[in-house]
Structure 1
Amino acid sequence: MYVKYKQLCKEGEFCPGDVFDYDYGGGHIYNLGTQVTWRTQAEIEYIEGSLDRMLYLAVCNDVKAIAMPAIGAGLGGLKWDDVKRCIERVASSYPMVDLYVVEAYQGENEQ
């Protein structure tokens, strides 16, 4: 997946707002284009566009549930509350897909 993703980026075929749908045979991994480069901040418009495309692809591929991290915040530099509202707004148009967002993760060794 990473090799193909890197190739798409290098060739300019994966841009902000895009989705790279990696079908590994047993499911899909959706890579969302939320930043121009890994060094730049995420843009809420890119998140909105890529989420909409991802959920559309999920419906087309009969994907019933998606788990995803809290995109756009952290290294993306956006406020999580703004991103969360965007996710909720876009997801409301796709009630046939259960979207699970892991807002915070606490591993076994973390307190």
Structure 2
Amino acid sequence: MIEATRGNLLEADAEALVNTVNCVGVMGKGIALQFKRAFPKNFTEYAKACKGKEIKPGKVMVFETGNMLNQRYIVNFPTKRHWKEKSRMGDIETGLMDLCAQVQRLNIQSIAIPPLGAGLGGLNWHEVRQRIEAAFETMPEVRVLLFEPEGRTAPSGYLGAPKARA
């Protein structure tokens, strides 16, 4: 089930939070910077994985937070090869395949997803949203909180109206 929402993804009531990253170990802007500040251990592991050339397009990195209930996992999702570059739709598509595989492997029941590559990455949100919907359509038991880019409205067919937070 996909629910469109807005607000602070880091406060989402979800078992897993998706963090958009690049493949060079920099979390300097956008939501990645927020994750770096909120989850410094995740950043350390991510930077180490980048240094070891383990972070690649199409391959997510799952970090266990140690929380027992919500926000148990941070899923670092490469949307850019380098922070200076724009995102590529092909990388989003292959990344979504791996994301869904990890959701199934870990039996994740709820996940919060930002607009993958549609912010600083420059991709068209409508096209990205379609790919996210297609990726999760075979997993209706998973609650997907899909965070809309600021200033956008939810398309018809989404459950619930977007929620504004103070």
Residue correspondences, number: 108
Unaligned runs of 5+ residues in structure 1 are none
AA in 2 matched with 1:13: E
Query: Which residue does 1:16 correspond to in 2?
Result: 57
Q: What is the alpha-carbon distance in structure 2 between the residues aligned to residue 101 and residue 83 of structure 1? A: 11
- State the TM-score, normalized to the length of structure 1: 0.88
Partner AA of 2:135 in structure 1: V
* TM-score using structure 2 length: 0.60
Contiguous gaps of at least 5 residues in structure 2: 1-41, 151-163
More helix by share: 1
Q: How does 1:95-106 map to 2 (within 5 A)?
A: 95-104=140-149
Mapped to 1, the partners of 2:84 and 2:147 lie a distance apart of 23
- Distance in 2 of aligned mates of 1:52 and 1:32: 11
Match of 2:78 in 1: 33
Q: Which has the higher contact order (CA 8 A, sep 6+)?
A: 2
User: Matched residues in 2 for 1:25 and 1:82: separation?
Assistant: 34
2:106 maps to which of 48, 61, 70: 61
Could you say what secondary structure the match of 2:62 adopts?
strand
After TM superposition, the runs of 4+ consecutive aligned structure 1 residues lying more than 2 A away are 93-96, 104-108
Instruction: Name 2:15's counterpart in structure 1.
Output: none
CA contact (8 A) 1:55 1:97 kept: no
Percent identity between the aligned chains? Answer: 30
Q: Secondary structure at the match of 1:67?
A: strand
